């Protein structure tokens, strides 16, 4: 199998808000929020006796609310559960941008849902996201990410779930996520090797916005593309921390301009203000400028 990552399309995934599908009031408020994506949750946040009502809520929502310019992801229950089949029927009816599979342990979990979607003639644009939230998932994360390179795999993004991971490993909550960083970095290495995106885990205390912003800054420094959120109050900080700041944008524009100079044509490395800049930096700069343009375009829409 080819292990060289292909170029990833530029996407806005700074802030992806998880909303319980059973909460009709929360669903109504989504339209006015500035998050990059929404995870409509049918799993952990919905009690077993409320699953059917939650699916009905989502069917109405998708029929009535277009959510212009934002990714729509439905987190289903495990396929092997009593709710999995009905959740897949809902996904096929609603046609979101992606389906989020919880508690992925191994590549075969991705293959199973990819085969199911193919058998049901799901649109090619329907992608798969995977929750990495178990010890087995961490042990297998490279193989899980690599499975996204197989034809028809549809795998697009890994989402870290630290609440379940803490529960299963016994790691206690604490500032700085000291004992979790090595596992988070394993996810980053895996997604970058195989051309996927990665979202950092939720921060449970949505009232402590200073701590949340610090966690966003840490996640961005580690290389995450964005963060899964549990409350609208977290959106602004996530957008700010995972978005391009003015200094980074100015530097990216300078790199693009430097490589556009006539004497830089055909050269792999140039000297820019005493720094050696390679074409890989040009590619990164172009991606950042593209992302900034996407953010600006969405802000300009009424």
Strands 269-272 and 275-278: antiparallel
Query: How does pLDDT run along the chain (302 residues), one tens digit per residue?
Result: 333 344 556 789 999 999 999 999 999 999 989 999 999 999 999 999 999 999 999 999 999 988 888 999 999 999 999 999 999 999 999 999 999 999 999 999 999 999 999 999 999 999 999 999 999 999 999 999 999 998 889 999 999 999 999 999 999 987 789 999 999 999 999 999 999 999 999 999 888 999 999 999 999 999 999 999 999 999 999 999 999 988 989 999 999 999 998 888 888 899 888 889 998 899 889 888 988 888 888 776 64
| Assigned token pair, 69 | 């310019």
> Residues 122, 69, 287, CA angle at the centre, nearest 5°?
95
Task: Tell me how far apart the alpha carbons of residues 202 and 123 are, in angstroms, rounded to a whole number.
Answer: 29
Q: What is the pTM of this model?
A: 0.90
For the segment 99-135, what is each residue's pLDDT rounded down to a tens digit?
Answer: 999 999 999 999 999 999 999 999 999 999 999 999 9
Three-class secondary structure of residue 297 per DSSP = helix
Q: Does the annotation place 261 within a ligand binding site?
A: no
| CA 60-203-239 angle, 5° bins | 70
Q: 43 among the known binding-site residues?
A: no
Burial (CB < 10 A; 0-12, 13-18, 19+), residue 175, is exposed
- Residue 134 pairs in a beta bridge with none
Structure tokens at 95: 């046609």
pLDDT at 69: 83
Give the pLDDT score at 152.
87
85-94 burial code (b ≥16 CB/10 A, e <16): ebbbebbbeb
Rounded-to-integer distance, Cα 208 and Cα 217, Å: 15
Domain ranges of the chain: 15-242, 246-300
Reduced to 3 states (helix: H, G, I; strand: E, B; else coil), residue 166 is helix
DSSP class of 172:
P
Neighbours of 278 (CB within 10 A): 14
Q: What region does 84 belong to: left with phi over 0, alpha with psi -120 to 50, or beta?
A: alpha
CATH classification for the domain delimited by 15-242, as one of 3.30.70.20, 3.40.50.880, 3.20.20.60, 2.20.25.90: 3.20.20.60
Coil, helix or strand at residue 223 = coil
* Integer Cα distance of 203 and 214 in angstroms: 11
Question: Is 68 annotated in some ligand binding site?
Answer: no
pLDDT of res. 4: 39
Structure tokens at 107: 């590549």
* pLDDT value for 287: 87
């Amino acid at each position: 199998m080819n292990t060289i990552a292909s170029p990833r399309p530029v996407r806005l995934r700074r802030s992806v808000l998880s909303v319980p599908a059973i909460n009709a009031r929360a669903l109504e408020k989504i339209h006015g929020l500035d998050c990059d994506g929404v995870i409509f949750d049918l799993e952990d946040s919905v009690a077993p006796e409320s699953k059917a009502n939650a699916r009905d809520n989502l069917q109405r929502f998708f029929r009535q609310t277009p959510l212009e310019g934002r990714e729509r992801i439905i987190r289903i229950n495990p396929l092997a559960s009593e709710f999995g089949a009905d959740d897949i029927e809902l996904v096929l009816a609603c046609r979101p941008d992606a389906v989020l599979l919880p508690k992925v342990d191994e590549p075969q979990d991705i293959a199973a849902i990819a085969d199911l979607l193919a058998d049901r003639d799901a649109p090619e644009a329907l992608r798969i996201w995977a929750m990495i939230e178990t010890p087995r998932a961490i042990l297998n994360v490279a193989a899980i990410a690599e499975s996204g390179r197989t034809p028809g795999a549809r795998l697009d993004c890994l989402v870290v779930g630290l609440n379940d991971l803490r529960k299963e490993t016994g790691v206690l909550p604490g500032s700085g996520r000291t004992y979790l960083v090595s596992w988070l970095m394993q996810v980053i290495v895996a997604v970058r090797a195989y051309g996927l995106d990665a979202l950092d885990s939720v921060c449970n205390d949505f009232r402590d916005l200073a701590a949340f912003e610090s966690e966003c800054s840490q996640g961005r420094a580690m290389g995450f593309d964005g963060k899964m959120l549990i409350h609208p109050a977290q959106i602004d900080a996530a957008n700010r921390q995972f978005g391009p700041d003015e200094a980074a944008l100015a530097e990216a524009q300078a790199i693009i301009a430097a490589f556009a100079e006539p004497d830089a044509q055909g050269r792999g490395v140039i000297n820019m203000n005493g720094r050696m800049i390679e074409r890989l930096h040009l590619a990164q700069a172009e991606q950042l400028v593209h992302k900034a343009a996407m953010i600006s375009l969405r802000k300009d829409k009424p």
